[in-house]
Every structure is written in C-alpha cells, then in structure tokens.
Amino acid sequence: MKTTYREALRAGLRDALLRDERVFLMGEDVGAYGGCFAVSLGLFEEFGPERVRDTPLSESAFVGAGIGAAIGGMRPIVELMTVNFSLLALDQIVNNAATLLHMSGGQCHVPVVIRTTTGAGRQLAAQHSHSFEGWYAHIPGLRVLAPATLEDARGMLWTALQSPDPVMIFEHGALLGMDGELADDAGAVEIDHAAIRRSGTDVTLITYGGTLHKTLAAAEALAAEGVSAEVIDLRTLRPLDDATIMESVGRTHRAVIVDEGWRSGSVSAEISARIMEQAFYELDAPVGRVCTAEIPIPYAKQLEEAALPQVPAIMAAVHDVLGRMSTSVDGVPVLAETH
Amino acid sequence: MTPALAVPTAVVDLLVPAPLSAAAVADRAVPTALVVVARQPLVTSPLVRHLAEQHDIDLTRVAGTGTGGAITRHDVENASRLAGGPLHRTNRPTSPRARRLATQLGVDLARIEHGSGPKGSIIGADVLARPRPDSKTPRPLQEVFASDLSPGRDPLRSADAATARTANMRRRTAALMARSKREIPHYFLSTEIDMSEAIGWVRDTNATRFVTERLLAAALLLRAVVIAALEVPETNGHWVDDEFRPASGVHLGVAVSMRGGGLIAPCIADAHTRSLDELMSALRDVVGRVRTGRLRSGDLVDPTITVTNLGDQGATAVFGVIYPPQVALAGFGKIVERPWAEHGLLGVRPIVVATVSADHRASDGQSGSRFLNRIDTHLQAPEKL
Amino acid sequence: MNAEQARAVIERVLSRIAPEVDLLAVDPTESLTDQLAINSMDQLNLVLGVHEETGVDIPERDYPKLASVEGFVTYLVARGA
C-alpha cells in the first residue's frame, strides 16, 4: 500500500481509537480543523467531539488534563502542535507525569501518550523548528520515541499506549510528506530496540528521526567511495538500546552520531559517552558527531540548510574518523558542526 | 606482613650473573637472598610520573632513594637503563583498539611505520596487518587489485564470480579515482608530438625482425616517459605525509583496461634499467597477464609514475586521473595523421597528443612542460632510445 | 594447412588473448578490431600466437590482410602453412 508518513500516523491513531474505547485524542486544532499538520484529518468526523477533542491554547492545562485522565483510567493521546510549545507543558510532563509513579510509592501509573512535531527543514524558523527530544530523553520516568519510517509511524502508537507509564512520541515535521510502501497488514511494532537500517563494516552511523534519511543517503554516497557504513536508527531515545550500538561499534570500530539537536548536552553527547564507557577498547578513532549548528534555527532557506546536518557534513565526519582527507564535498561548504 | 627491603625483580634479574645455570634460572623468579614486596610507590613529582610513563617503567617496582624513600627522577632513569633503555615506544597516536590488540597479539607498536587512522594514528587494522619483513612501503592500492585478480582467491570459473569481480573492480576504481580527485590538485598540460621518426624507425626495425622481437610504437612512448621521468624527478615519486618523496628509479605503472570492464595499472618494476626491447617484452607480458587475469606479485610493486595509452582505438587526447600516492600520469592518445607545419612547409604527419596530469603540490607547470618536451625530444631520436 | 585447421588455430589464439569473447558471436567476415576492441598489442599477440602454432612469420606490411577471421584464414592457407 502506497502511503505517507502523515497517513501512517493517522492510521495509527484511527486504529487506537477503534481498538480501545478508553483512547481519546486531544490538542490544539486536532478536531474540526483536522490537525495543524493534517495528521488527524477526518478523525473528528469519524469519532466525534468526545474522542477527538479540541483544546484551548494552553499546553500546561491540557497536558495536565491528559495526565489526570490517564490516572483516572483513560488512555489519552495528547498532541502538542510543535516541540517548541511542549515547553509550556514542561512542568506537567517532567514534574507530574514522569514522577508520579515514584512519588506515589508505585500506586499511580500515568499511561499518557504525548505526541508532538519536532525538527526543522520546513522554513518554520526558531518558533517551530527545534529538536528538544534530547531534553526529554534526560528525564527518568519517560519513554521517548522517534519514528523515522512509515512502519514506525504506523505502529509505535499502539505499543506506546500499552505502556503503563508516560510515553512521548516525536514525529519529525520534514518527514510528514515522505511517501513509500507500507504493508497492508502493518500494525503495532516493538519499541525496545534500535534498528540497523543498513549493514556495513567500516563505520557505524547512529541517528534517529529526521536525519535517518540523510544518513542513509550519505551511506549510499560513501559506498560509491568504497566505504561501507552501517546505519543505526535509534527509534527509542529513552531508554537507549546500548546493546545494538555497542555490538555494531564492536564490529566497525568507528562511530559517527548524526543528531538534529544541538551538540551540547545532546542525545549525541550521551551516546558518545556511552560508547566511550562501554566500547573504548574497540575504538579506532574518536567518536564523530554531526549536529545542528548552535544557533536558533534560521528562517532563510539557505541558512536553515546550512545550520542542519546534511549529507556532505556526514560524509566529512566519516572521512575524519577514517583518517581520510576531509574537505567540503562537491564544493558544498560544510557549515553544520562536525567533530 | 613484615616490611622488607624492596627491590624490583627486574633489577634482581640483572644482578644474577650470566651464564645462568638451569637451577639459577629456576630460582630467578624468587631470589632467595631478597624478598620482593609490591607496594605503593612513593612519588611526589609529576615529572617523575611522566618520565616513568615515557620509559614504560612500573613505579611499584622502583626503589626510591629520595627523601623518605621517594622515587626520584634519577631512580627512574636508573631503572630504565637497567631495563635496557627506553622501550620501543611509538610517538604516533594509537587507537584504544590498536593498543588492546597489540597487547593481546604481542605486537610492538613502534615497529608499525604507517598509521592509517585519523592524523596518521595507528588503528586496529594496522596491528592486524603487521609489517612483513620483506616489504618497506605500503601497497594498499596494488594489494586490493591483487586480491581481485588473484585466480586462487577469486577464480573466474562462474559467470557470477566474474560479474562480482567486475563490480568489485568498478567500486575500487571508483573509490581510488574519487580519492585522487578529492586530494590531489591536478594540473594538466598537453603537447603535440610528430611521430614520423618514431613510426618510421619502428617500421624499418620490425621489417628486419622476427615476429617475436617486433616493437610497438607504444614501447617507444613508454621508454621516452621513463627517461623523461628520470630527467624531471619531480614527476616521479610519491606524495606521502604531506611531502613529496622522489624516487630514485622508475617503477612504471601502465594503465590497462580489463576486458569486461575496470582498469588496472600493473607495474613494470625498475623500468629505468630495461632497454627498449626489454620494455617491449615486459609490456607484452604484463598486458597479457592483465587480460587473462593472472597478475604476479611482481606486477604489483607500487609504481612511481603511470602511463595511460589509449592506443589506436582511443580518443586523440587523454587527461587522466593520477593514481595516489603518485604525482604524475602521462597520457597518449591515438596516433592520427594531421597537417603539420615545419620550417615553413606544410605536410601530413602522424601526430600523437602527449599529456601529463601532475600533482601541483609536487611540481608546477614548468616541470610538467619540461617533462613533455623531453618526451618529444626522445621520440625524435628513436634509434637512441 | 586447410581452411578448417587455420580457423581452429586463429580461434584458439583469440580465446587465449581475449578469454571472455564468445567466438560463436564473431562475424568471420567483419573486422576483428571493430568487433572485439582488438588493439595493437592484441594484434601483435595474435600474430605471435599464430606464429607459435604454425611457424608462419607474418611481416607487418601484411597486417591489413588479417583484419577479419576469414581474411586471416585465407592468408594462412595462401602462405601454405
């Protein structure tokens, strides 16, 4: 079945609403308008205003309501329009959702699923384009997912809803229009493991979400140079699947992490540290990183592209860890930060 | 435990007089006269620690002679001297994996001359490919091609194997050429050479020769390149570790297209010591071996310069891509008849366009021009080649 | 040597020089150079190989007569090899 990432997300939502009457979706404009990015288009008509609920413009209030509903036995899916706005609900997410199980002595699970759109690449500037999933991955008590494929867009939600604890799903905005084939019987997927999207022997490229496809493109271009790159899609940012990462690095002896977040204090920093802790004696080169330039995401198209991890920067970082001369590729200057 | 006089075993070993009896050898580990106790070293100075690390001295095994038994710089130097001087330690950065493998395999890192990792660091693969005693220079390029061609490892028995080999060759060629274009600042020069003398001489010579001894014009071109490479040394050698290393002799790479696709540049070693006839027979042999996929190890010496000759099937000029780490590639198009003006007269002559692609880090246009002009000069006097 | 034997010699030598060539696909009346991308080195090796098998020494000036398999066969038969 030919479909898009957006439609796959919608199929996941519809499936959940059909399968479990405790499930409902709420958020800004998810109802009558069909979702700010048209993900929930048609669900309001199909399931009605009780189960597809428009909320006031107050992230803190409706995430709080979602947490309350979850404690009360419902299975709410709360949509935050973009990850930037999720920060308005940070108190509810971090201080309540993530902690209540612990603070109640194990009595009070919070089975809420919070979905939000993350990432840049659509000229939505610093208001809507950041990648804060790394921050949430810092928080014990949360599970953090980043679907990068149609299968994961379709299947992660249901599995997340089965979790007794809060799960955040970061859907990359630049992937919404991505199309491809999805099996007609595609359904729930496991959310415990990273996936090796391409096998290779010379270097392990570790990434997730929006940068997966750039990383795969870089791996393809590297293959033409005779470099065999393995590509790991993390899928779950918390808890990290250390075993898959270390097993791969143990074979390739080199790693480059591609992360659309800023480098400082990022998911890439965490993975780099873990590789150093767990696979130091397997390394043939310092771990390389390709992250977004440490600036608010610019509006201008060229500046936005220059700020984000791109294929030439990924290739340059791989050249670095392989000890090859690293230059700009095809005359494209490497502006995103690589190390 | 009773504190005892602490003496390092290494020092004790050296105190045992040679030659040793078997009994003495058996006793060496625990000398009866001295009790050895491991203990925390008493060190006050970072300098001492640094020095100990430099000399690979275990401080727990050094007896201190400083205040309160502290280990001094003198003690470390003494221990180092007694242990036979500073161990072979490498200054090259070495990856954690390489260190681990070196320890596990008992490889002396100092004996690894080339690190292939970032900034020339020694990596695991360098340890695993311990330098062979008979090989001084690394030959990565030639070895990868050798592995593709060696009939023992990759027999051409099935169509699949042949297809896989071709794809592999293509990939390797692609990687190498991409690397060359990425790393080497090429410049290109060309000149037209009148081949009347050379071709006439070959024709006359061949007319009197048995078929087994006949020459091809290609052999003259190669011979002219060999001599010109000796005369313009900045075209002949390797660019390694950010510097040009000229070669004393000429190992001549000859680019030969594989039947079924792919390109390989086997080497005619010590080409400068070979006469024209010897060069001709070497060329015939090596081309034959490439075409049949039976290269020998002798064909895989690292060339110092390469020639590509499109021959009578090719275009009129070739501006080639240098094989790293070489610094020049000479090219010849096909020989064609062209109007040629000389001494105010116009005539039809066989002409070949000779080109050189050269590494601007190692030479400049003037050297490249001289190189081409020398080739021209030699081809005008074929009887001297 | 008859035409049959001459043809067998040429095909044997050709398959040594260019092992991947499908001899059945070679048009015996068309130029070998055009069909098989035979260069001057291959040409020399072909002449050399035929010499080794038959003892015939072919002077360079006769090379144009050897352009196709049939031409080569005719030449060898005429030379009475």
Residue B25 pLDDT > 50, yes or no? Answer: no
Contact A268, A234 (CB under 8 A): no
**Dihedral (C-alpha) A229, A233, A239, A245: value to the nearest 10 degrees?**
-20
Q: Which residues 266-305 of A have a C-beta within 8 angstroms of B?
A: 280-286
Residues of chain B in contact with residue C37, where contact means CB-CB under 8 angstroms, are 313
B172 has a chain A CB within 8 A of its CB: yes
Is position A128 annotated as part of the catalytic site? Answer: yes
Long-range contacts of C11-16 (CB under 8 A, 24+ apart): C11/C69, C12/C49, C12/C53, C13/C45, C13/C46, C13/C49, C13/C50, C13/C53, C14/C46, C16/B292, C16/C49
Mean predicted confidence (pLDDT) in B79-95: 63
Evaluate whether A2-181 and A195-338 have a shared fold.
yes
Nearest to B277 by CA among B350, B200, B209, B371: B209
CA–CA separation, A334 vs A328, rounded Å?
A: 6
- Partner-chain residue, chosen from A227, A323, A327, that has the shortest CB–CB distance to B119: A323
CA–CA separation, A115 vs A80, rounded Å?
A: 6
B102 has a chain A CB within 8 A of its CB: no
Residue B9 pLDDT > 60, yes or no? Answer: no
Mean predicted confidence (pLDDT) in B26-39: 40
SS3 category, B190: strand
**Inter-chain CB pairs, A–B, below 8 Å:** 59
Residue A81 pLDDT > 80, yes or no? Answer: yes
Q: How many domains does chain C have?
A: 1
Mean predicted confidence (pLDDT) in B83-110: 73
CA–CA separation, B79 vs B37, rounded Å?
A: 17
Per-residue pLDDT band at B46 (split at 50, 70, 90): confident
CA–CA separation, A248 vs A243, rounded Å?
A: 8
Contact A126, A300 (CB under 8 A): no
Mean predicted confidence (pLDDT) in A214-221: 97
Is the CB of A226 less than 8 angstroms away from the CB of B117? no
Q: How many domains does chain B have?
A: 3
B115 has a chain A CB within 8 A of its CB: yes
Q: Which value, in Å, is the radius of gyration of the alpha carbons in chain B?
A: 30
Residue B31 pLDDT > 60, yes or no? Answer: no
Contact A191, A143 (CB under 8 A): yes
Q: Say if B91 falls within a structural domain.
A: no
Question: What's the pLDDT at A108?
Answer: 94
Contact B191, B377 (CB under 8 A): no
Residues of chain B in contact with residue C47, where contact means CB-CB under 8 angstroms, are 211
Residue A127 pLDDT > 80, yes or no? Answer: yes
Is the CB of A283 less than 8 angstroms away from the CB of B97? yes
Q: What are the tokens at B220?
A: 């003259």
Token pair 């030379």 in the structure block, residue:
C79
**Crossing angle of helices B217-231/B196-207, nearest 10°?**
130
Mean predicted confidence (pLDDT) in A123-138: 94
Question: What's the pLDDT at C81?
Answer: 64
Is the CB of A224 less than 8 angstroms away from the CB of B174? yes
Per-residue pLDDT band at A265 (split at 50, 70, 90): very high
Q: Which of A291-300, B23-32, B114-123, C65-74 has the highest mean pLDDT?
A: A291-300
**B116 and B210, same domain (yes or no):** no
**B118 and B205, same domain (yes or no):** no
Is the CB of C60 less than 8 angstroms away from the CB of B311? no
Residue B119 pLDDT > 70, yes or no? Answer: yes
Q: What are the tokens at A118?
A: 């993350």
Residue A99 pLDDT > 60, yes or no? Answer: yes
Contact B234, B367 (CB under 8 A): yes
Question: What's the pLDDT at A184?
Answer: 92
Residue B313 pLDDT > 80, yes or no? Answer: no
Mean predicted confidence (pLDDT) in B176-187: 90
User: Do A and B share at least 3 CB pairs under 8 Å?
Assistant: yes
Which of A128, A172, A213, A319 is catalytic? The answer is A128
In the predicted model, what is the mean pLDDT of chain C? 84
High-pLDDT (> 90) share of chain B, %: 33
**Dihedral (C-alpha) A155, A157, A158, A160: value to the nearest 10 degrees?**
120
Residue A94 gets which letter from DSSP?
Answer: I
Half-sphere exposure of B145 (CA within 13 A, CB side): 30
Residue B137 gets which letter from DSSP?
Answer: S
CA–CA separation, C44 vs C63, rounded Å?
A: 9
Q: Say if B159 falls within a structural domain.
A: yes
Q: Cα angle at A288 between A285 and A290, to 5 degrees?
A: 165
Question: What's the pLDDT at B6?
Answer: 42
Residue B108 gets which letter from DSSP?
Answer: -
User: The CATH number of the domain where C12 resides is what?
Assistant: 1.10.1200.10
Alpha carbon of B336: minimum distance to chain C alpha carbons (Å): 14
Alpha carbon of C35: minimum distance to chain B alpha carbons (Å): 12
Q: What are the tokens at A209?
A: 């979400």
Is the CB of B203 less than 8 angstroms away from the CB of C44? no
ipTM of the complex: 0.80
Is the CB of B216 less than 8 angstroms away from the CB of C19? no
Residue of B nearest to A249 (CA): B97
Q: What are the tokens at A298?
A: 């610019």
Q: Which value, in Å, is the radius of gyration of the alpha carbons in chain A?
A: 20
Residue of C nearest to B206 (CA): C60
SS3 category, A260: strand
Domain that holds residue B43: 9-82
In the predicted model, what is the mean pLDDT of chain A? 94
DSSP A142-165: -EEE---SHHHHHHHHHHHHT-SS
Pairing of strands B267-268, B252-257: antiparallel
**Which CATH architecture fits A2-181?**
3-Layer(aba) Sandwich (3.40)
Q: Cα angle at A45 between A40 and A51, to 5 degrees?
A: 70
> Regarding predicted confidence, which is higher, C41 or B350?
B350
Mean predicted confidence (pLDDT) in A1-13: 96
pLDDT digits (tens, 9 = 90+) for A226-255: 999 999 999 999 999 999 999 999 999 999
Is the CB of B172 less than 8 angstroms away from the CB of A286? no
- Partner-chain residue, chosen from A223, A226, A253, that has the shortest CB–CB distance to B97: A253
Question: What's the pLDDT at B150?
Answer: 39
Q: Return the minimum-mean-pLDDT range out of A170-184, A198-212, A315-329, B34-48.
A: B34-48
B181 has a chain A CB within 8 A of its CB: no
User: The CATH number of the domain where B207 resides is what?
Assistant: 3.30.559.10
Contact B46, B27 (CB under 8 A): no
pLDDT digits (tens, 9 = 90+) for B192-247: 999 999 999 999 999 888 888 889 999 999 999 999 999 999 999 999 888 898 99
Residue B149 pLDDT > 80, yes or no? Answer: no
Pairing of strands A75-82, A203-207: unpaired
User: What kind of fold does domain A195-338 have according to CATH?
Assistant: Rossmann fold (3.40.50)
Q: Looking at chain A, which subunits does it touch, using at least 3 CB pairs closer than 8 Å as the criterion?
A: B
Per-residue pLDDT band at A147 (split at 50, 70, 90): very high
Q: Say if B318 falls within a structural domain.
A: yes
Q: Return the minimum-mean-pLDDT range out of A92-101, A156-165, A209-218, C31-40.
A: C31-40
Per-residue pLDDT band at B3 (split at 50, 70, 90): very low
Q: What are the tokens at B111?
A: 């004996």
High-pLDDT (> 70) share of chain B, %: 74
Mean predicted confidence (pLDDT) in B160-170: 67
Which residue ranges make up each domain of chain A? Answer: 2-181, 195-338
Question: What's the pLDDT at B91?
Answer: 66
Q: Looking at chain C, which subunits does it touch, using at least 3 CB pairs closer than 8 Å as the criterion?
A: B
Pairing of strands A75-82, A113-118: parallel
In this structure, which amino acid lies at residue B254?
V
DSSP H or E segment with residue B8? none
> Regarding predicted confidence, which is higher, B286 or B53?
B286
B128 has a chain A CB within 8 A of its CB: no
Half-sphere exposure of B198 (CA within 13 A, CB side): 26
Alpha carbon of A4: minimum distance to chain B alpha carbons (Å): 34
Per CB distance under 8 Å, which residues of B are interface residues toward C?
A: 156, 162, 203, 206-207, 210-212, 214, 216-218, 259-260, 283-284, 287-288, 291-293, 311-313
Q: Say if B1 falls within a structural domain.
A: no
A224 has a chain B CB within 8 A of its CB: yes
Q: What is the Cα A258 distance to its own chain's centre?
A: 12
- Partner-chain residue, chosen from B117, B172, B175, that has the shortest CB–CB distance to A285: B117
Domain that holds residue C25: 3-78
Is the CB of B118 less than 8 angstroms away from the CB of A320? yes
**B118 and B261, same domain (yes or no):** no
Q: Cα angle at A218 between A216 and A220, to 5 degrees?
A: 70
Is the CB of C44 less than 8 angstroms away from the CB of B216? yes
Per-residue pLDDT band at A82 (split at 50, 70, 90): very high
Half-sphere exposure of B26 (CA within 13 A, CB side): 3
